[in-house]
Amino acid sequence: MSNLRTFFTSSFSAVTNPTVLGLTLHRAWIATFFFSANIFVGADPSNTYVGQIYSISLLSLACILVAGGLAPNATKRLMDLRFMRIAAPTLLSIGSLSMLLVSSPDASALLPVSAGVLTGVGSGFLLLYWGELYGSSEPTTAQIHSALAFMLAAFIYALFLLLSSSMLYILVSAILPLLSGIALAKARKADTGVPHETHAIVQGERSMLQVAAAALIISFVHAGLMVVTRNLPQEASSTVSFIAFEMTYTLTLLVSTIIIALLIFVTIFLSKKSDMGLIYRFVLLFLIIGVLFSPFAGTIGTLSTIIVNAGYTCFELIFWIALSNISFRYHISPIRVFGLGRAGWVFGVFLGGLYPPLPFVGIAPLSPLTSAFFMISVLIVCTVVTYTFILPERTIVAITTGYGGRRGSLQSRCQKLSKQFGLSQRENEVLACIVRGRDTSYIQQTLNISAGTVSTHRMRIYQKIGVHSRQELLDMLEQVHSDEPVLPKL
């Protein structure tokens, strides 16, 4: 019991980690900007700027992510510029403040373009920054930090319900990207790049595409369902009923993320690794149940929508963890992994929002209820196909298991490698930093040594182990088993 208490205490103490806080703040901005109507309270219902801003923001976000996925080296060089680390959160904050003009009758036609581009570009680069950090972290650490970040983001989103003024809501929401940028400045970026093409890379690319395809389908299901439920005949609603719905949804989201986070912590504690298979199964089951009952009116339909939204967020947590593990385990640039992976998610949201589809020639239009049941049947089939063929549970288990069990933790494997090749204590400390993707500046400050000394230790470590790059060092580290010696490269 004391070990469990110590584990949870050490896990939750990570909330002060800049990596956790930064992703928390960015996740909170996504929730307040894309999933809450409070921003648009008081806006003219006939104002089409809202939909335009969302569409342009999604397309701009997709462009940044695809560019990062297809050209990770060039994108990393751009992201390494200090100017970009400041510009990304600033653009996102300015774009958020532009929403103050939505309800104005004199709003310019350029408003949706400027607000959409600013939020899309700023959010895209911030996602790549945080993806780079999480993709360079040890899987167990990335899983704990991700669970904490999603849980804290849900808590912040719940606090936003206390803001009654639309203007205050937007102002506070616009501060979140700036705070995320401050956390980014404190968190050290990983020193990663695009590695050599090996068998592990081929397997990693395949896993990445599977996760991206599943994300596209699930986000399409969620966005499509939201459009379907809005198109259904509804009883006269009031502001009070809307507020009650959002409060129920927010509390459900908070409780579900807390439960998922606790399950992740427990599985890591019990098996020294995180098996997301069971969690993945139940999340998709909740999605199917929610989609199935969403056409019903009244309390059942409302609860179904809430279940779907909560399950969707939990799936997004699994998705983030999977991308982090793929990048680390297969040594693929996290910019590429998160760029293409998140792009699949964004395209799914965009495609789901295009419902209803173009009518077939010669077929009479269906009634709203019949059309809804048809679309919901399609969404259920998509979810089942995802679980059965696109991203089965065994694949999620293989991706998210992480390092642990028989192969030992990253720290223990570094120690075994150091002992076998006769590294000094200081070289062992530098080795631990190198394999975690830390750059020279970070190692210099952490170990209180000069940059030249860091370079000297790195050169000696490579010489003793018989490698020539960090990529080869990581490949060597993966060979470390409990009692098996590692053969140096010739």
pLDDT (0 to 100) of residue 197: 40
Helix axes 368-385, 277-293, angle to 10 degrees: 170
Q: Between 369 and 11, whose confidence is greater?
A: 369
Q: What average pLDDT does the structure give for the chain?
A: 80
**pLDDT tier at 67 (50, 70, 90 boundaries)?**
very high
Q: What integer pLDDT is reported at residue 13 of this predicted model?
A: 63
Report the b/e string of 447-479 with b at 16+ CB within 10 A. eebeeeebeebbeebbebbebeebbbbbbbbee
Q: What is the mean pLDDT of residues 361-383?
A: 73
Percent of the chain with pLDDT over 70: 77
Per-residue confidence (pLDDT) for residue 62, from 0 to 100 = 96
Stretch 90-101: mean pLDDT, rounded?
A: 89
pLDDT above 80 (res 82): yes
Q: Is the pLDDT of residue 212 over 50?
A: yes
* Cβ atoms 481, 406 nearer than 8 A: yes
- pLDDT, residue 41, reads 43
Region 301-313: what's the mean pLDDT? 82
pLDDT of amino acid 448: 84
Nearest of 477, 475, 360, 366 to residue 413 by alpha carbon: 477
Given a cut of 80, whether residue 11 has pLDDT beyond it is no
Mean pLDDT along residues 269-278: 68
Predicted confidence at residue 136, as pLDDT, reads: 81
**CATH code 1.20.1250.20 for 14-400:** yes
Query: Could you tell me the pLDDT band of residue 331, with boundaries at 50, 70 and 90?
Result: confident
Q: Inform me whether the pLDDT recorded for 444 exceeds 90.
A: no
Mean pLDDT of 235-241: 45
Domain definitions of the chain by residue range: 14-400, 406-478
pLDDT of residue 366: 59
Percent of the chain predicted with pLDDT > 90: 30
Q: What is the CATH number of domain 406-478?
A: 1.10.10.10
Which pLDDT belongs to residue 2?
Answer: 56
pLDDT band at 33 (very low <50, low <70, confident <90, very high): confident
Query: Contact, 86 vs 143, CB < 8 A?
Result: no
Q: 182: pLDDT confidence band, cut at 50, 70 and 90?
A: very high
Q: Would you say how long the chain is, in residues?
A: 490
Among 65-79, 291-305, 308-322, the least confident range = 291-305
d(Cα 301, Cα 75) in Å, to the nearest integer? Answer: 44
Least confidently predicted of 31-35, 89-93, 145-149, 394-398: 31-35
